[in-house]
Amino acid sequence: MPEGPELHLASLFVNRMCGGVVFTGPVRKSEVSKNPEVSFSCPAYTIIATSRGKEVRLTLTPKESDSALGRCRRVKAGQANQVQTMDIVFRFGMSGFFRFTTEAELPKHSHLRFYTNEKPCKVLSFVDTRRFGSWQPNGTWQANRGPCIMFEYLSYRENVLSHLADRAFDRPICEALLNQKYFNGIGNYLRAEILFRLNIPPFVKARTVLEGLQTHLSDEDRKSVVKEEITDTEVKVEVTDTEIKEEVTDREISDRAAVKEDETPDLLRLCHTVPLEVIKLGGKGYDPEKMDYTDFKAWLQCYYVKGMKSVRDHNGRTMWFKGDPGSMAPKDAISPKTKMTVKKEDDHDYKGGKEVKKARSESTMKPKYKKETVVKKKVPQRRAGRRK
């Protein structure tokens, strides 16, 4: 499932593939998607992507030109009606991602498509096999999501520590970490890796784990960070160690200054640095040379790793860990392996169950058929009696 690093990599991919590319015409939605139509059409426009936690925003900007494409404006009733810039905010669900292909190579589950004016035409498409993802035209970052754990470190940290009285922190720490109001960008594999590194049992009260961190960041550390408002001004920053320089926002500069290499990591700090490690691995699904996820699998220390334990949390999500689960662990928790065995057994008996169901349906149909036959025979007799 895409988490904060994946969505940020998605935004970098869009900027890398679409930089300098001119798109044209309407934005097209697939017929099967239940997401809203995107009412945007322009002879020439550009696309820029930014990410924040578990959301990606595409900004469609009209590009005025005196070429054959014409200007991105329509004259109506004697007045110039300028095509406005549009923001589309995406949430990836379980299987969303972007692809940039030729029209002939369009992926099967492309539910939102942006076409270039090149020949042959190319398409930026939002692909979502399971259709759990969503987009919102003229959208904004969701208000119920907190600051980004990767690129708004100080704001995110203060947001958590200033709200420890919230009932959300009565829950086990592994479940609190999935609350996007406080940990915007953390998902299933990240919570497992973070708690594993600190040797924290997943099912202990979140408040107990976090209370001691309230005074962890000293005033001196705070003064060393240049606090600036987050803007959309783009600057060149090297975000990986793979020779690729991507365009990101200036918020990353100040947040990197907040992290000192000699500082002992705590839970909130690891929620910030561990996702950045994933980004530094490289493409992870967006680099054609790294589609096999080999580096990412080698990086994992806990999640789905042999020898680790796993149970379902109170929300039904699988939690991977080592050692004691903690006092708040569900009493009837079932490990994925056990559940998979049960599922296989169900599959094994499925044909028999299907045959029984079929036999039952046939047995119920026969009496019904006979009853209808009897009624039909009686109807003429009644009518005949009435005629007499």
What's the CA gap between 274 and 192, in Å, rounded? 11
- Give me the catalytic one of 3, 6, 55, 152: 3
Residue 124 confidence (pLDDT): 96
Please confirm, yes or no, whether 3 is among the known catalytic residues: yes
Residue 1 confidence (pLDDT): 74
* Three-class SS state of 97: strand
Residue 81 confidence (pLDDT): 56
What's the CA gap between 270 and 291, in Å, rounded? 26
Where does the pLDDT of residue 153 fall: very low under 50, low under 70, confident under 90, or very high at 90 and above?
Answer: very high
Which one is predicted more confidently, 173 or 225? Answer: 173
Q: Are 315 and 37 in contact (CB under 8 A)?
A: no
Where does the pLDDT of residue 373 fall: very low under 50, low under 70, confident under 90, or very high at 90 and above?
Answer: very low
Where does the pLDDT of residue 333 fall: very low under 50, low under 70, confident under 90, or very high at 90 and above?
Answer: low
Instruction: Tell me if 4-71+81-137 shares its fold with 153-334.
Output: no
Mean pLDDT to the nearest integer, 283-291: 60
In CATH, what class is 4-71+81-137? alpha beta
Which one is predicted more confidently, 213 or 77? Answer: 213
What's the CA gap between 245 and 63, in Å, rounded? 25
pTM metric for this prediction: 0.73
- Give me the catalytic one of 2, 5, 202, 325: 2
Residue 363 confidence (pLDDT): 42
Tell me the pLDDT tens digit for each residue of 14-23.
999 999 999 9
What are the residue boundaries of the structural domains of the chain, listed by start? 4-71+81-137, 153-334
pLDDT above 90 for 221: no
Mean pLDDT to the nearest integer, 62-81: 50
Residue 306 confidence (pLDDT): 94
What's the CA gap between 214 and 364, in Å, rounded? 67
What's the CA gap between 326 and 354, in Å, rounded? 42
Where does the pLDDT of residue 50 fall: very low under 50, low under 70, confident under 90, or very high at 90 and above?
Answer: very high
Where does the pLDDT of residue 219 fall: very low under 50, low under 70, confident under 90, or very high at 90 and above?
Answer: low
Which one is predicted more confidently, 344 or 270? Answer: 270
Residue 332 confidence (pLDDT): 75
Which one is predicted more confidently, 158 or 241? Answer: 158
Please confirm, yes or no, whether 54 is among the known catalytic residues: yes
| Beta-carbon contacts of residue 147 (< 8 Å; ≥ 6 apart) | 53, 155, 156, 159, 184
Which one is predicted more confidently, 365 or 56? Answer: 56
| Beta-carbon contacts of residue 372 (< 8 Å; ≥ 6 apart) | none
Number of neighbours of residue 266 by Cβ within 10 angstroms: 16
DSSP letter assigned to residue 104: G
Please confirm, yes or no, whether 2 is among the known catalytic residues: yes
Lowest mean pLDDT among 60-69, 168-177, 213-222: 213-222
Fill in the amino acid letter for 262. Answer: D
Mean pLDDT to the nearest integer, 268-282: 93
Span 153-334 CATH architecture:
Orthogonal Bundle (1.10)
What's the CA gap between 107 and 109, in Å, rounded? 6
What's the CA gap between 321 and 310, in Å, rounded? 6
pLDDT above 70 for 308: yes
Lowest mean pLDDT among 47-56, 205-214, 368-377: 368-377
User: Angle at which helices 267-280 and 188-198 pack, to 10 degrees?
Assistant: 120
- Give me the catalytic one of 6, 43, 54, 202: 54
Tell me the pLDDT tens digit for each residue of 131-151.
999 999 999 999 999 999 999
Tell me the pLDDT tens digit for each residue of 229-249.
333 333 233 333 333 334 444
